[in-house]
Amino acid sequence: MKNSHETGWALLLLGASLLLVQTLPARYWPDNAGLLAIFSRTVKGEVAAEGLAWREWQDHSAATRMAFRAVRPLPDAPQP
């Protein structure tokens, strides 16, 4: 396999770093709010409105699917 020695070294370094991370005490790990603050950004203006409209449309389409699913009779139910 081509460059298999490079892959081996990469996997070895990955494994060593994971073992090192597991040994860190809990005080070195940020809480959920800290992680969220690191990886999130605030969205404002038109982009926020588009995101809200998208979520509302998704909620509406999911609610419509659930309503249609509830109306359908079950296959083993006796038909009138």
d(Cα 6, Cα 77) in Å, to the nearest integer?
A: 62
Q: What is the pTM of this model?
A: 0.33
CA atoms within 13 A on the CB side of 75: 0
| Residue extents of the structural domains in the chain | 1-40, 42-72
Give tens-digit pLDDT for 14-23: 999 988 888 8
> Which pLDDT value is given to residue 62?
81
Give tens-digit pLDDT for 8-67: 889 999 999 988 888 887 777 767 777 777 777 776 777 777 877 878 888 888 888 777
d(Cα 67, Cα 80) in Å, to the nearest integer?
A: 21
**Phi-psi sector, 45: left (phi>0), alpha (psi -120 to 50), beta:** left
Calculate the alpha carbon distances from 5 to 9, 11, 13, 18, 19 in Å.
6, 10, 12, 20, 21
* 74 — pLDDT class (breaks 50, 70, 90): low
